[in-house]
Amino acid sequence: MKILVQKFGGTSVSTQEKRKLVVCKVMNAKEEGYFPVVVVSAMGRKGDPYATDTLLSLIDDNFKVANPLALDLLMSCGETISTVIMCNELNSKGIDAVPLTGGQAGIITDCNYNNAAILNVDTKQILSILQKGKIPVVAGFQGKDENNYITTIGRGGSDVTAAILGAALNAVETQIYTDVDGIMTADPRIVSEATLIKKISYDEIFQFADQGAKVIHPRAVEISRKYNIPLVIKNTMNNCDGTVISNLGNEGYESIITGITHMNNRVQIKICKNSDSSYEDLFDILAENLISIDLINVFPKEKIFTIDEKDFIKFQNLIKEINLVCSFVKECSKISIIGSKMRGIPGVMARILKALTREKIEVLQTADSHMTIWCLVETEYVEGAINALHREFKLG
């Protein structure tokens, strides 16, 4: 059985017009001899009636914190509604489709509500539906725990649902349909000349996803890599080939830089050494308090790093408690310049710094690894910086 997992994101299922295009994708797959397994997200984005954020606005913040189980049940509704609407659409074209919650589709998670980890996938139900010649339409982003409570697996989780089903069903490939042609050299909302990346390795795309490109969830990349299932990102609105993510990567592609992504809401912190011993223990203390840090530079008399804005108040309270003094720059963005071919090539950092200096953009900090160079800039300059770097490396 040639199984094909096809996941459709929020914008792809938001209107009837778009859902008709989804039906075409599913019908085409069927006509080509595949057995499609459809995964759907909640319909639309923030502000739309059945989008997850809209559902969340129906209950109080205190209730959310005190009742994670109820919160998950509410959050799962958007995807559940979507499965039924999609089945309705498929049925109207004479296709027999069966709506399934994540739990009914066999996705078993731990009890870490709101951010549950998938422990196991029982494919029995899906396989039985496929064997009857019908199409399972699975609600993304959700599963059930050992007590049969509905859980959700974190934002962007429908990508993870698709990847885990692709792996469990040993699919020919996992297709992620969205509102762009595939993975581009930069977010097309920021860089109008961004171009499509046709082929890319799991490793490179993991960097993209992990460093802020929201087009695919990093866990979905990890799972597909582990089980060696090709992951293909495509546009619901057209027939473009999209981006193929596989172990083969992009053989023959010569550019040293593959693309650029970024992450907002970073706060740069500088802490000077004082006589207090807590300076030496600072990183341990932050780890114990679950504050993750990055872009870490340690000097004899100073430590510089960044944290997420959401941890800032907690961080300030901690610092006060342990008698350290810090200075900080809020509203920073971390730009990631990614390319597996930059290893060992001299002068890449120099080109980056020159391109940004030309635009009078101050670089607050840098770091590099074998595949990525990071630059921290103030958020008001991030779009200009990404465009300048995109031009410098001729990615358009």
Q: Which residues bind Mg ion (CB under 5 A)?
A: 9, 156
The annotation status of 122 as a binding-site residue, yes or no, is: no
Using the rule CB under 6 A, which residue among 6, 9, 173, 219 binds ligand ADP?
9
Query: Position 149: which residue type?
Result: Y
| CB closer to ligand ADP, 161 vs 246 | 161
Cα 246 to Cα 37, 170, 225, 230, distances in angstroms = 20, 15, 7, 5
Could you tell me which stretch among 3-11, 61-69, 99-107, 313-321 binds ligand ADP (CB under 6 A)? 3-11
Is residue 178 close enough to count as binding ligand ADP by CB under 6 A? yes
Is residue 388 close enough to count as binding ligand ADP by CB under 6 A? no
Instruction: Read off the tokens for 77.
Output: 């509704």
Is residue 186 close enough to count as binding ligand ADP by CB under 6 A? yes
| CB closer to ligand ADP, 43 vs 352 | 43
For 311-322, the three-class secondary structure string (H helix, E strand, C coil) is: HHHHHHHHHHHC
Is residue 235 close enough to count as binding ligand ADP by CB under 6 A? no
Cα 322 to Cα 137, 279, 316, 326, distances in angstroms = 53, 9, 10, 12
The annotation status of 52 as a binding-site residue, yes or no, is: yes
Instruction: Read off the tokens for 268.
Output: 């740069």
The annotation status of 9 as a binding-site residue, yes or no, is: yes
Choose the contact partner of 184 out of ligand ADP, Mg ion, none; CB within 5 to 8 A by kind.
ligand ADP
Is residue 205 close enough to count as binding ligand ADP by CB under 6 A? no
User: Considering the complex, what minimum distance in angstroms separates the CB of residue 208 from ligand ADP?
Assistant: 6
With 0-12 / 13-18 / 19 or more C-beta atoms within 10 angstroms meaning exposed / middle / buried, residue 316 is: middle
The annotation status of 214 as a binding-site residue, yes or no, is: yes
Instruction: Read off the tokens for 196.
Output: 């499509």
The annotation status of 210 as a binding-site residue, yes or no, is: no
Could you tell me which stretch among 48-56, 125-133, 141-149, 212-220 binds ligand ADP (CB under 6 A)? 212-220
Q: Is 317 left (phi over 0), alpha (psi -120 to 50) or beta?
A: alpha
Spatial neighbors of 51 by CB under 8 A, at least 6 apart, are: 10, 42, 43, 44, 45, 78
Interaction residues for ligand ADP, span 241-300 (CB under 6 A) = 259, 261
The annotation status of 133 as a binding-site residue, yes or no, is: no
For 284-299, the DSSP string reads HHHHHTT--EEEEEEE
Using the rule CB under 6 A, which residue among 51, 209, 213, 244 binds ligand ADP?
213
Is residue 11 close enough to count as binding ligand ADP by CB under 6 A? yes
Spatial neighbors of 255 by CB under 8 A, at least 6 apart, are: 339, 341, 393, 394, 395
Is residue 189 close enough to count as binding ligand ADP by CB under 6 A? yes
Residue 214 CA neighbour count, 13 Å, CB half: 11
Interface positions with ligand ADP (CB under 6 A): 9-12, 41, 178-180, 183-184, 186-189, 213-215, 259, 261
Binding residues for substrate: 52, 79
Binding residues for ATP: 7-10, 178-179, 189, 214-215
